[in-house]
Amino acid sequence: YGSTRPERILAEVKSKATRGDARSVVDTIDQYCRHQEWAMNVGDEKGTILDSIVCEVKPRAMLELGTYCGYSAVRIASLLPPNSRLITMEFNPVFAAIARQVIAWAGVEDKVVLIEGPSGDWIPKMKKEFGLTSFDLVFLDHWKDCYLPDTKLMEECGLLRTGSILVADNVICPGAPDYLEYVRGSPRYESKYFRSHLEYTRVEDGIEKSVFLG
Ligand SMILES: Cn1cnc(CNC(=O)c2cc(-c3ccc(F)cc3)cc(O)c2O)c1
Ligand SMILES: [Mg+2]
């Protein structure tokens, strides 16, 4: 059914999840990816860690790099306070097209802005395009070799303020060694590792939470 994995995930959401119910969309995707076919969503275990950070920070302005099918965008948006915005960026137009439909099905489209294209092109334009001063919280979940260059670019573009928090998925598997070395070694960050597992598996993975100190 459906020719691509994201299309099969969307089909599952439309047939099993309750329209307008973000939690049921999240649970449907988790069930499908745990029992039918694995997919690179942040998943339920690491998702709980992400939830706790979103609830603690209560971000007014949040950025996600790497939308994929929209699983974490839906998860995050369902926790955002009123008149807060999640901007989520996806390079791959096929993923973006699926994610738009998953986000709409969950009924969170008024909290989420999905932008398509390369992060390196978009990051320098964000302030102007969205009337932003800075991001309170950034979730990095895109190509692992882009975590570090994009973090440096966000610093240079003044998108991080004292207290802005970076949350990075997959710092162990597939891994982002250069990023980890940077945030753990830099005096401008206070970093903490949350040990977990690769989504839907017993393989070790984790989330790194790093506070920008300015
Ligand atoms: C193509 N593409 C578009 N966006 C991206 C960015 N995401 C990832 O690469 C990514 C990969 C994995 C993963 C894949 C294979 C494996 F064996 C173990 C782990 C897990 C994740 O949570 C991820 O976020 C890749
Ligand atoms: Mg990931």
CB-ligand 1 contact for 6 (6 Å cutoff):
no
Distance (Å, rounded) from C-alpha 23 to C-alpha 75?
7
Residue among 141, 150, 205, 208 flagged as catalytic: 141
| ipTM confidence | 0.98
pTM of the model: 0.98
CA of 170 to the centre of ligand 2 (A): 5
CB-ligand 1 contact for 66 (6 Å cutoff):
yes
Longest dimension (CA), the chain: 50
Give the residue among 153, 187, 174, 150 at the shortest CA–CA distance from 210.
Answer: 187
Amino acid 209 reads K
| Closest ligand (CA of 147) | 1
**Tens digit of pLDDT per residue, the chain (214 long)?**
559 999 999 999 999 999 999 999 999 999 999 999 999 999 999 999 999 999 999 999 999 999 999 999 999 999 998 899 999 999 999 999 999 999 999 999 999 999 999 999 999 999 999 999 999 999 999 999 999 999 999 999 999 999 999 999 999 999 999 999 999 999 999 999 999 999 999 999 999 999 999 9
DSSP 3-state of 154: helix
CA of 61 to the centre of ligand 2 (A): 21
- Whose structure tokens read 């994201």? 6
The verdict on whether 199 is a catalytic residue reads yes
pLDDT at 2: 57
CA of 206 to the centre of ligand 2 (A): 10
CB-ligand 1 contact for 198 (6 Å cutoff):
yes
pLDDT at 1: 58
CB 59 within 8 A of CB 137: yes
